[in-house]
């Protein structure tokens, strides 16, 4: 390690994030990295592998959503989409026949176009991870992609999905293929028949990742929708996190219910944070929630709360076991705890202004930011992925973070998602995304939502 | 889900942990569970599988240490140890020959004695996880154990280590077998020769976990010291955490350096917490640390700090890149931040007394407990396991938590581990544990350590609790 005898540099505290950064002659200096949820040194290229209808796009989209949420810039590149953009109208499975020269040419062209966009994203646009979503079922194709990765200084990690259960494949076809643009003019039976023949086109040339032939590659092979996994040569932190995530997700139908605690005494006074109890209306809401949950008739519902009194009081009304998670506690507003927004603006005008400038990264003095919250909530998301039916009774900022994960909302929008009191959001995974139902439980409450101010200089006082 | 129309129960706040618990007629009621790091519903029986010298005991001990640290009561049961207790003197590998009736009888007896202790630990002593450390190389033996698990309501998870690399096996023998009580009177060569024959005794009957024959079992098969893994039917949260941990550990030699920031301005005033800068002596220490690190000549050293000014200032003196982790921040003392202990005792006498009663679980009002710290630090431990040479510049309470993990110290001792200022602890994994070297860098600093008071006089709550 190089001996550096240079004098210690000055540290100044970034006013937005409250982090200490070194300055050299008045300019920000290098050397000091903030540990995001994970540091990626060189970009990662994730390559999906598998026959059609094995869940590759499902996994690609879900993994991309997760990585972006934890702060790793990720983008997926679906080669089928490139093909649809190039060949305007899909005719039939014959396009995919192994001896269709025209088809092969177009498909190779699309793969290369996608790889080119991957290169642009990772090498020019500061992307950290690219997910290359295609069948990639031959060793030859995978070698081409691996070389591409090597040439560009990317680490390549393969994700293969192997499944032979005809019921699973049929269910996939119903979920995501019948509604595909390829089959917009077909009946369900016609589409299914054509798609089955499409799968057959790939089967003869399919070379699954092999323990011996591919022993030097980094990969995870997912078998039977997660019944078992073969993991080979995990190279770094991000690959380890990806493996952990993929091993925790499942496809069993279920619903996740998100809501806030009932209205609290401090809510009534327009004050933030603290550890108050429920107001009269908040207790009403808790009873309504109990009734609602009963009517939903949910199988094996797990109930989670924070360790703050208001969520626990709300759960108590349900009369069922619940688990308290400290990491579900509301964002810590530090010196601003229990203040009104007017008091904050009066006593900390700079802080008030900074928060509206970048609400996601803004950290309260001696408190937290939304960015901190996301890092704190990652184990909750991981356990939500493992679980089936869950009701999470939490807080405004916390609920915004969880919602942003399920609805794939970016950091800029996250702090402004609408999560009103006394309203349950029911999230049900469907196709590649999440259906949201919003149910207001008919007990009035104050509105705690603040929109992003429209246009202002940052110097004038907000009305 | 049952419709419960009972009125909402009263909540009271536990004075020690500051958690809200429901009370029914003045008595603690059920229903409300604190989420520890993971909730285990029924006990888990982990069963090691593999030929001798494949790292089973290494994995057993490490996994046990990790699970206990994150708050899951875990105990390992090494059948070889039961054998050594029963058969006082080990003679030779012939004890393990597959046709040695006497040997087989004793070995089966030991396995059953160990299983009986497992049952007592999991079913009577509130253990959550038991690690059954033996070769368990035949399907028949594993079925016996699986049935035992089923009868007792345990979930069984197998951990198999498969390795054919002769260099790895030779290194294992040197690390942990030559020093075994079995070979206390042998030369290294004699011991190695005997042990290699011992391994041979198992090979003929070895039935590795099979993708088809064992497809209904829950297991992880670790191949070539972690190069690849086969994972089958992970059933619940704790198994998922175990798999994640096992997939992140490695055996590459390396050292972990732990130290605190240099002495801070608040340290000098006897005040806790805050975000102060370094004192003059603290800056001296930072320079000494830079010199020390240089002299150590460490390959590819990673340097981690918290996001508090004093650790970052310390790292700045090293002149190398470092990473700031918010989760390495010192324990949050809530309303007591920046107070002296005298001020705390004066303004919050009850809090002061409670902390000395149970320092691990005690949570400062609007702050944290050591127990909270451990949960917050778990990703740091996981990443330390993945990494090689790392220097962690942190804080007293944080360093105590990390040290307790590496040195397998229980919760009661953790908050009293000695982590003085200006002292680097160098931890080097060796055999089944960790070697510690303590290096004081010769720059004086205040002492911030408080021992557990000897006698606590508990008076009625209306009066203060006075530690002697």
| Residue stretches of the annotated binding site of B for substrate | 260-267, 310
Place of tokens 């005040």: B271
| C-beta atoms of A324 and B19 within 8 A | yes
The alpha carbon dihedral of B388, B393, B398, B400 has a sign of: positive
Is there a contact between A323 and A305 (Cβ–Cβ < 8 Å)? yes
CA distance A284 to chain B (A): 11
Would you state the structure tokens that stand for residue B57, as one six-digit string? Answer: 């005991």
* Buried-exposed string A106-128: b where 16+ CB fall within 10 A, e elsewhere: bbeebbebbbebbbebbeeeebb
CA end-to-end span of chain B: 53
| 8 A C-beta contact, residue A71 and residue A373 | no
pLDDT, position B24: 75
Q: Which pLDDT value is given to residue B34?
A: 66
The pair of structure tokens assigned to B444 is: 């004086």
Cβ distance A324 to B35 less than 8 Å, yes or no, reads yes
Catalytic residue at A31? no
pLDDT, one tens digit per residue, over A149-180 is: 999 999 999 999 999 999 999 999 998 999 99
DSSP letter, residue A18 = -
Residue B247 with chain A: CB contacts under 8 Å = 231, 234, 240, 243-244
Query: What's the sign of the alpha-carbon dihedral B138, B140, B143, B147?
Result: negative
Give residues with Cβ within 8 angstroms of B152, minimum separation 6. B43, B119, B122, B123
Q: Which residues in chain B land under pLDDT 50?
A: 1-5, 37-38, 460-468
Q: What is the mean pLDDT of residues A77-101?
A: 94
Residue A343's pLDDT is: 98
Kindly give, in sequence order, each residue whose CB lies less than 8 Å from that of residue A53, ignoring residues fewer than 6 positions away.
A169, A172, A173, A177, A195, A199
Planar angle of CA A31, A36, A42, nearest 5 degrees: 70
Q: What is the pLDDT of residues B255-284, one digit of tens each?
A: 999 999 999 999 999 999 999 999 999 999
**Residue numbers in B near A237 (CB within 8 A):** 383, 386
Nearest residue to B129 via CA among B193, B64, B186: B64
Residue tagged active-site, from A261, A284, A378, A395: A261
Q: Do B32 and A312 touch (CB under 8 A)?
A: yes
Determine the pLDDT at residue A10.
85
Residue A33 has its nearest CB partner, among B22, B297, B323, at B323
Three-state DSSP state, B271: strand
Place of tokens 């994640």: B244
Residue A127 CA to residue A46 CA, distance in Å, equals 13
Closest to A383 in 3D by CA, of B248, B37, B219: B37
CB distance A68 to A410 below 8 Å: yes
Contacts of B366 in chain A (CB under 8 A): 337
Q: Say which residue the tokens 């949570």 belong to.
A: B363
Above 80 in pLDDT, residue A71?
Answer: yes
Helices B237-246 and A370-386 pack at an angle, to 10 degrees, of 110
Active site residue A261: yes
Residue B129 phi/psi, 5-degree rounding, is: -130, 135
Catalytic residues of B: 261, 330
DSSP assignment string, B157-193: EEEEEE---HHHHHHHIIIIITTSGGGTTS-HHHHHH
- Kindly report the nearest CA distance between residue B464 and chain A, in angstroms: 26
C-beta neighbour count of B184 within 10 angstroms: 11
Task: Name the 3-class secondary structure at B45.
Answer: strand
For chain B, give the number of residues.
468
B20·A307 Cβ contact <8 A: yes
Strand ranges of the sheet holding B322-324, from the earlier edge strand across to the other edge: A32-34, B322-324, B302-305, B390-394, B256-260, B423-430, B433-440
State pLDDT tens for residues A188-212. 999 999 999 999 999 999 999 999 9
Task: Name the nearest CA neighbour of B158 among B249, B56, B72.
Answer: B56
Residues of B in contact with A304 (CB under 8 A): 35
A118 — phi, psi (to 5°)? Answer: -60, -50
Q: Which residue in the set A320, A326, A386 is minimally distant from B1, CB to CB?
A: A320
Q: What pLDDT does residue B38 have?
A: 46
Q: Please give the pLDDT value at position B467.
A: 41
Q: Is B111 strand, coil or helix?
A: helix
CB contact under 8 A, A320 and B293: no
Q: Is A389 annotated as a binding-site member?
A: no
A445 in Cβ contact with A267 (< 8 Å): yes
pLDDT for A9 equals 82
| Contact between chains at A228 and B231 (C-beta distance less than 8 A) | yes
Element (H, E) at A437: strand A433-440
Share of chain A above pLDDT 70, in %: 93
Q: What is the pTM of this model?
A: 0.94
Give the model's pLDDT for residue A32. 62
A274 is in an annotated binding site: no
A110-113, Cβ contacts within 8 angstroms, sequence gap of 24 or more = A110/A79, A110/A82, A110/A83, A110/A86, A111/A79, A111/A82, A111/A141, A113/A82
Kindly write down the DSSP assignment for every residue of A73-133, as one continuous string. Answer: -EEEEEHHHHHHHHSSS---GGGG-TT-HHHHHHHHHHHHHHHHHHHIIIIIS--SEEEEE
Take residue B165 and report the two structure tokens written for it: 């690399």
Q: Give the integer Cα–Cα distance in Å for A329 and B425.
A: 35
Best of A282, A326, A372 to substitute, by most chain B Cβ atoms within 10 angstroms, is A326
- Across the interface, whether the CB atoms of B231 and A233 are under 8 A apart is answered no
Radius of gyration of chain A (CA): 25
Task: Give the per-residue pLDDT at A37.
Answer: 42
The answer to whether A266 is a known ligand-binding residue is yes
Q: Where are the alpha helices (DSSP H) in B205-334?
A: 237-246, 265-268, 280-296, 309-316
Q: Which chain B residue shows the shortest CA-CA distance from A39?
A: B323
pLDDT at A5: 45
Q: For the beta carbon of residue B105, count every other beta carbon within 10 angstroms.
A: 10
């Amino acid at each position: 390690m190089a001996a550096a005898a240079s004098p210690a540099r000055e540290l100044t505290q970034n006013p937005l994030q409250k982090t200490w950064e070194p300055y050299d002659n008045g300019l920000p200096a290098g050397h000091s990295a903030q540990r995001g949820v994970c540091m990626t040194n060189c970009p990662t290229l994730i390559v999906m592998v598998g026959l059609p209808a094995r869940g590759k796009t499902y996994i690609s989209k879900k993994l991309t959503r997760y990585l972006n949420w934890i702060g790793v810039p990720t983008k997926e590149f679906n080669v089928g989409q490139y093909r649809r953009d190039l060949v305007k109208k899909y005719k039939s499975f014959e396009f995919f026949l192994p001896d269709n020269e025209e088809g092969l040419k177009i498909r190779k062209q699309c793969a290369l176009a996608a790889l080119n966009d991957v290169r642009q994203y990772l090498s020019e646009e500061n992307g950290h991870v690219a997910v290359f979503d295609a069948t990639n079922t031959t060793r030859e194709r995978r070698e081409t992609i691996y070389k591409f990765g090597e040439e560009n200084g990317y680490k390549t990690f393969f994700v293969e999905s192997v499944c032979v259960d005809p019921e699973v494949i049929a269910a996939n076809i119903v979920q995501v293929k019948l509604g595909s643009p390829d089959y917009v003019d077909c009946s369900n039976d016609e589409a299914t028949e054509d798609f089955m023949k499409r799968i057959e086109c790939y089967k003869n040339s399919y070379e699954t990742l092999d323990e011996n032939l591919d022993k030097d590659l980094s990969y995870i092979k997912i078998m039977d929708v997660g019944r078992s996994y073969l993991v080979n040569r995990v190279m770094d932190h991000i690959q380890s996190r990806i493996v952990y995530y993929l091993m925790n997700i499942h496809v069993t139908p279920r619903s996740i219910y998100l809501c806030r605690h009932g209205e609290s005494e401090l809510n009534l006074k327009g004050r933030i944070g603290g550890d108050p109890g429920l107001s009269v209306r908040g207790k009403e809401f808790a009873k309504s929630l109990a009734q609602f949950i009963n009517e939903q008739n949910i199988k094996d519902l797990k109930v989670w709360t924070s360790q703050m009194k208001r969520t626990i009081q709300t759960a108590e009304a349900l009369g069922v076991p619940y688990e308290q998670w400290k990491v579900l506690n509301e964002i810590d507003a530090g010196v601003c705890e229990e203040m009104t927004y007017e008091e904050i603006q009066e006593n900390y005008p700079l802080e008030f202004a900074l928060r509206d400038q970048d609400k996601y990264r803004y950290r309260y003095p001696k408190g937290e930011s939304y960015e901190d919250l996301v890092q704190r909530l990652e184990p909750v998301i991981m356990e939500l992925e493992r679980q089936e039916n869950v009701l999470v009774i939490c807080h405004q900022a916390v609920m915004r973070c969880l919602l942003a994960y399920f609805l794939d909302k970016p950091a800029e929008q996250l702090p402004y998602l609408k999560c009103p009191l006394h309203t349950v959001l029911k999230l049900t995974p469907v196709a590649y995304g999440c259906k949201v139902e919003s149910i207001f439980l008919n007990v009035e409450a104050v509105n705690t939502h603040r929109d992003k101010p429209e246009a202002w200089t940052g110097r004038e006082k907000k009305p």
